[in-house]
Structure 1
């Protein structure tokens, strides 16, 4: 359970669209008692998922978002993801495939990348553009990122956490968000360090290395604001 908790927080935050609401959803699932019809490591994911009603959404339903996040962001097998959300495997497979097609049809957004390693930045650009989005700028350091965001006003920021000599990605984003309300996705090789719920932390976190579908669903969630549980 303790090993699963940070990643359940990541899942809930991405699903709901914010740190505070996502962490509150995890706490609610723990208070309510976890499902007994799924294996222990999956029980917390299931508890969180089953608190969210399956609303249709503009492009992708809440249940489809869950399946996308579980299989792409949390790297669960489709069999485990179907068990978590409470769907037969065949239906889960059909819903997931429909959701992936819907992601490709969603309007693209302008993305600014904050990454200090040139080769990695190039790879990220290619990956972002392969998902149908437009990279409007790449910043390698904190000061450059703040100035670039002020000038470009991107639709989304994709930021590395560690910028080496160039500063800190989280600090750069905090400065940017003082001036504009822009969705942010953080990229890190150590996501558990940003999932302690002990401080202000990002709502959207992708583990390095990441796949195109993980970026696509995280981008969709960040731009759309997540699902509603009201």
Structure 2
């Protein structure tokens, strides 16, 4: 595989990470564009002795520094009390599947620090976040697995639905604080369409779970900030739920404070 092809293969996953890290498609995609522009402007900065995937993420973090992800000192903003290092270490080692050693290289820290950050982040999940969640999933086993994970994090699974129409009705009734949605539903309807309809009435973070994440991460049009691949790793779900709720709580706190 050529260098260009290798970069192209990794871009959907870097976009996913950037969007999850920032909680925004626009901001995350801008960060990825800046990374690619930096690579074009200074190709000698790319360490060819390291895998393309690891080096791509390292350059991303070199460009997109903590100053770009500054905690917000606003009452009620959970992220304001949470070090960014915890978030990055957790996402890199769970959703992106890097080893602590690779994550340490990407972030420019020690592998032991990465492991410590991940441990602290998991504790924070249980102590700081809980929400009313709706699951849109037509496969019963997957839905029950997701419910088990969410409940173990302290969340309340208020509804599990299998079709677009059920999802719309349930959202109106339970007013969820977080939605986990499959893309292809039981009756051939679309989880994407269901979510689009729901978001007309309420503002709620949505995590899509799909076997084809690249179809949602093309870079064209409005796309979700949070995407988990099927079959999913439980750690991916935990990390993404944590991130989505952090961003949502912070945004609500900012809106109330301003």
Give me the TM-score of the superposition, normalised by structure 2: 0.82
Report the Cα offset of residue 59 of structure 1: 4.5
Partner of 1:172: 194
The partner residue of 1:196 within 187, 210, 218 is 218
Paired residues in the alignment total: 228
C-alpha RMSD over aligned residues: 2.0
The partner residue of 2:52 within 40, 45, 51 is 40
Deviations 1:95-137, CA, capped at 9 Å, x for gaps? 2222222222122111000011222212221121122211000
Cα distance in 2 for partners of 1:46, 1:164 equals: 41
Alignment of 1:1-230 (within 5 A): 1-33=7-39, 35-37=45-47, 38-50=50-62, 51-53=64-66, 55=70, 57-225=79-247
Cα distance in 1 for partners of 2:14, 2:221 equals: 17
Larger fraction in helix: 2
Report the Cα offset of residue 179 of structure 1: 0.8
Cα distance in 1 for partners of 2:112, 2:162 equals: 45
Q: What secondary structure, in the 3-state scheme, does the structure 2 residue paired with 1:225 have?
A: helix
Gaps of 5+ in 1: none
- 30-39 or 12-21, which deviates more: 30-39
User: Are the equivalent residues in 2 in contact too, given 1:52–1:62 (CA < 8 A)?
Assistant: no
Shift >4 Å, 4+ stretches: none
Q: What secondary structure, in the 3-state scheme, does the structure 2 residue paired with 1:58 have?
A: helix
Cα distance in 1 for partners of 2:51, 2:233 equals: 26
Deviations 1:169-219, CA, capped at 9 Å, x for gaps? 111000100111110000011212211111221110111222333222211
Report the Cα offset of residue 70 of structure 1: 1.0
